[in-house]
Amino acid sequence: MVFLLSASLLRAQTDLDAIMMSKKNLCIGGSYMYSSWDHYWEGSFKRVNKNIGTMSTQMFGLMGTYGITKKLNVIAGAPYVTTHVTRGTLHDQHGIQDLSVWLKWLAVEQNVGNGVLSLYALGGGSIPLTNYIADYLPLAIGLQSKTLSGRLILDYQLGKFFTTAIGTYTWRSNIKIDRDAYYTTTLHMTNEVQMPDMTAVNVKMGYRSDRMILEATLANMTTRGGFDIRKNDMPFPSNRMNATMVGAHGKYNFKFVDGLSLEGGGSYTVAGRNVGQSTNFDAGVFYILDFSSKKKKK
């Protein structure tokens, strides 16, 4: 996506899907994501920058989902991130980014028509795990903001086909930067930066069986406030960063090893504001450990 790659992209199949872990099952996994762009939006002006060339971000994520009950899961994850630009003199960055934790509750599950309608309610938050630099965009690995999110997932499955709609509101804490003053649309004589909140909407459609999932995705994130990058200026953590992305994603549960799954996908930014027009690829491998007394399949 973006300057503000968060771990949410990486964990696309957990806190953003309509699937639950069974009670006392732990799904652990690792994933990798590669994101790059050479065009970006300065406000609404789309441009290239030969002093950046191509900007790339890699994320190596570790995550786990645990079934407290079959209707209440806890999800946690954290990535290691590296950034790089191919031109100009700006220095690469790397480091451990933010820990995110979600509670996911299957609130409603009932037959509607010939299909099953389910509603999930999620609450989550994230905190930076290290003191990485945020005021060094586009190369900063994160924004240092602590977040709290509320999310609703509405899913309808008819036979092997499904549609999911997801809405998220993310509250973001202010951050402190290394400078004593900075300019947004006026001069601020403080090291504290007011971080606007964000909303996101995702729509997914596709095929879902016990064996595999194939889906098309549409995602939009919108910053509720913030300001545009000025012409030929550098980006800043409190910019109004918006993006709309389309993509496809798949997941396969192996037959020969029970509990092992592979997943992967890609997405492309079709519209944006104060973000890079990124192309993203991700892949992950996950394994389910069953701690319940009776061995049973997910």
Partner 1 sequence: MRFKILATAVAALFVTAACNKSISDRTANLPPLSPADQDLNAGSWKTMLLTRPDTFAVAAPAATNSTGYLADLNELKGYQKNLTDAQLGAIKYWSAGGVLRWNEIMRTLVAKYNIPPYQNSDTSYPAPSSANPFAYPYFPFANPPYAARAYAYVSAAQYDALVACWYYKNLYKRPAPYKTDSTIKVYVTKTDLPSYPSEAAVLAGVTAEMMKLLFPDEIAAIQQKLLEQEQAAIASGAATRSDITAGEALGRQVAQAFTARGRADNAGKAIGTPTDWANLKTTAQAKNQLPWLSLETPGRPPMLPLFGKVKCFLFDSATLVSLRPGPPPSTGSDSMKNATSEVYAKIKSPTRDQMKLVQYWADGAGTFTPPGHWNAIAAEDFIKKNYSEVRWARNLALLNCAEMDAAVSCWDIKYYYFNPRPSQMNSEIKTLTGVPNFPSYVSGHSMFSGAAATILGHIVPERASAYMQMAQDATNSRFVGGIHYKVDCEVGMAVGKNIGNYAVLRATQDGAE
Select from 46, 86, 207, 233 the one that contacts partner 1 (CB under 8 A): 233
80 scored as a contact of partner 1 (CB under 8 A): no
Q: How far is 146 from 98, CA to CA, in rounded Å?
A: 9
Give the nearer residue to partner 1 in terms of CB position, either 87 or 211. 87
Output the CA torsion 61→66→70→71 (10° steps). -70
- Please give the helix or strand (H or E) that residue 214 lies within, else none: strand 212-224
- Among residues 11, 46, 37, 4, the alpha carbon closest in space to that of 202 is found at 11
101 scored as a contact of partner 1 (CB under 8 A): no
Select from 44, 161, 179, 254 the one that contacts partner 1 (CB under 8 A): 179
110 scored as a contact of partner 1 (CB under 8 A): no
Q: How far is 63 from 233, CA to CA, in rounded Å?
A: 36
123 scored as a contact of partner 1 (CB under 8 A): yes
Residue 108 CA, distance from chain mean position: 25
Binding mask 236-275 for partner 1 (x = CB under 8 A): ----------------------------------------
Q: How far is 54 from 256, CA to CA, in rounded Å?
A: 41
Give the nearer residue to partner 1 in terms of CB position, either 103 or 248. 103
Q: How far is 196 from 221, CA to CA, in rounded Å?
A: 13
46 scored as a contact of partner 1 (CB under 8 A): no
Q: Label each residue of 116-134 as H, E or C.
A: EEEEEEEEEEEEECCCCCC
Select from 105, 252, 281, 287 the one that contacts partner 1 (CB under 8 A): 105
Select from 74, 101, 127, 148 the one that contacts partner 1 (CB under 8 A): 148
Select from 69, 92, 211, 254 the one that contacts partner 1 (CB under 8 A): 92
180 scored as a contact of partner 1 (CB under 8 A): yes
Give the nearer residue to partner 1 in terms of CB position, either 132 or 286. 132
82 scored as a contact of partner 1 (CB under 8 A): no
Between the CA of residue 14 and those of 17, 21, 64, 274, what are the distances in Å? Answer: 5, 10, 9, 28
Select from 28, 101, 121, 218 the one that contacts partner 1 (CB under 8 A): 121
Beta pairing class for 260-273 and 242-253:
antiparallel
Q: How far is 170 from 148, CA to CA, in rounded Å?
A: 6
230 scored as a contact of partner 1 (CB under 8 A): yes
Select from 112, 158, 181, 203 the one that contacts partner 1 (CB under 8 A): 181
Select from 60, 80, 169, 281 the one that contacts partner 1 (CB under 8 A): 169
Select from 110, 113, 114, 189 the one that contacts partner 1 (CB under 8 A): 189
Collect all residues with Cβ–Cβ distance below 8 Å to 292 and sequence separation of at least 6. Answer: 22, 23, 24, 25
Residue 209 identity: S
Smallest gap from Cβ 82 to partner 1, in A, equals 13
Query: Do 160 and 188 form a contact (C-beta atoms < 8 A)?
Result: no
Query: Do 222 and 200 form a contact (C-beta atoms < 8 A)?
Result: yes
Give the count of residues interacting with partner 1 (CB under 8 A).
45
Site of interaction with partner 1 (CB under 8 A): 50-51, 87-92, 105, 107, 121, 123, 131-133, 135-136, 148, 150, 169, 171, 173-174, 177-183, 186-190, 192-195, 197, 230-234
